[in-house]
């Protein structure tokens, strides 16, 4: 008979997982057990607090669906998603930031030099960039997956008034790694607060705002895929992002330009805002 006590329980649980074949998984489960038990010890966790925690997780499961993961949102507001991004940072490469729940695979392909503006109200902007390796060598085979919210702050998936695939696309960069995209200036918006994550934000007197941003996934053969966001330097919520996604290197400025060729080629007004976006990818190991 194993006499389980306060002092030997954690080791007994760890030992019970020691036969996991995959060495990395074995390590992760052992460390998770260690930190969970340490948390309960350190806080002298009570039965009612433990029950409340389990009920919180049940509420997260109940509100989750194939198109909504309350668990991912929980990871986001706890800063875990950002910590994983920061741990994965590669020297010299553009920094990563949270994927968020509104990426869907299979966005329409568009040529570099296209416009997403169509019937969207909002401030017209030009996003112009170049994808290179960390030494500045252009990556001619890079592809960019781009998505953002509309002028009312909503992504097309949340808003029946927007057409499917509004304000999202995939672009193959030009031979010199450059690309251009006309779009509208993204708006700040609120993360969903109708689930248990909203309860957590309210009880903490935390804001649910995310500063205005657009998302990109950049891929190139032989290079690490970059998942990131680019923020608007003029946004009032930059210091209070609900999901801790802002990095100084990912904040950029829209500057006014008046190049008439560019304006007519991309259907922009004579004076338009332009953001320059250098994107550097690290080599795969």
Residues engaged in binding ligand BEZ (CB under 6 A): 73, 76, 98, 100-102, 191, 210, 243
Q: How far is the CB of 72 from ligand BEZ (least distance, A)?
A: 7
The entry of ligand BEZ, Fe ion, none that residue 101 binds, CB within 5 to 8 Å by partner kind: ligand BEZ
Reading the block at residue 22, the tokens are: 């995959």
Pairing of strands 143-148, 213-219: antiparallel
Report which DSSP code applies to 213: E
The entry of Fe ion, ligand BEZ, none that residue 191 binds, CB within 5 to 8 Å by partner kind: ligand BEZ
Reading the block at residue 138, the tokens are: 């252009």
Contacting residue, 70, 81, 100, 115, with Fe ion by CB under 5 A: 100
The entry of Fe ion, ligand BEZ, none that residue 143 binds, CB within 5 to 8 Å by partner kind: none
Residue range at the interface with Fe ion (CB under 5 A); choices 36-44, 66-74, 97-105, 123-131: 97-105
Reading the block at residue 205, the tokens are: 């007197």
Distances (CA, A) of 66 to 62, 210, 224, 272: 12, 23, 27, 39
- 8 A C-beta contact, residue 159 and residue 186: no
Alpha carbons 195 and 200: distance in angstroms, whole number: 9
Q: Is 188 a binder of Fe ion (CB under 5 A)?
A: no
Beta carbon nearer to ligand BEZ, 100 or 195:
100
Residue range at the interface with Fe ion (CB under 5 A); choices 22-30, 68-76, 92-100, 129-137: 92-100
The entry of Fe ion, ligand BEZ, none that residue 98 binds, CB within 5 to 8 Å by partner kind: ligand BEZ
Q: How far is the CB of 55 from ligand BEZ (least distance, A)?
A: 23
Residue nearest to Fe ion (CB): 100
- 8 A C-beta contact, residue 77 and residue 191: yes
Alpha carbons 43 and 40: distance in angstroms, whole number: 5
Alpha carbons 120 and 118: distance in angstroms, whole number: 6
């Amino acid at each position: 008979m194993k006499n389980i006590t306060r002092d030997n329980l954690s080791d007994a649980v760890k030992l019970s997982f020691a036969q996991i074949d995959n060495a990395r998984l074995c390590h992760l489960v052992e460390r998770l057990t260690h930190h969970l038990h340490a948390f309960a010890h350190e806080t002298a966790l009570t039965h009612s607090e433990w029950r409340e925690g389990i009920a919180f997780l049940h509420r997260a499961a109940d509100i989750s669906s194939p198109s909504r993961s309350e668990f991912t949102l929980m990871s986001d507001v706890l800063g875990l998603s950002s910590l994983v991004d920061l741990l994965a940072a590669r020297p010299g490469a553009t920094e990563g930031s949270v994927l968020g729940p509104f990426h869907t695979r299979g966005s329409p392909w568009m040529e570099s030099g296209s416009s997403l503006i169509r019937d969207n109200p909002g401030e017209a902007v030009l996003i112009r960039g170049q994808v290179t390796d960390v030494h500045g060598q252009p990556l001619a085979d890079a592809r960019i997956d781009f998505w953002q919210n509309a002028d009312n702050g909503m992504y097309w998936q949340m808003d029946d008034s927007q057409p499917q695939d509004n304000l999202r696309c995939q672009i193959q960069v030009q031979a010199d790694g450059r690309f251009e995209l006309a779009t509208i200036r993204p708006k700040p918006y609120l993360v969903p607060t109708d689930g248990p994550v909203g309860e957590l934000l309210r009880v903490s007197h935390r804001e649910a705002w995310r500063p205005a941003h657009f998302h990109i996934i950049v891929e190139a053969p032989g290079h690490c895929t970059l998942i990131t966001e680019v923020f608007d330097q003029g946004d009032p919520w930059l210091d209070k992002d609900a999901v801790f996604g802002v990095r100084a290197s990912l904040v950029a400025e829209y500057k006014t330009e008046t190049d008439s060729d560019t304006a007519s080629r991309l259907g922009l007004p004579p004076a338009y805002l332009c953001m320059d976006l250098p994107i550097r990818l690290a080599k795969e190991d």
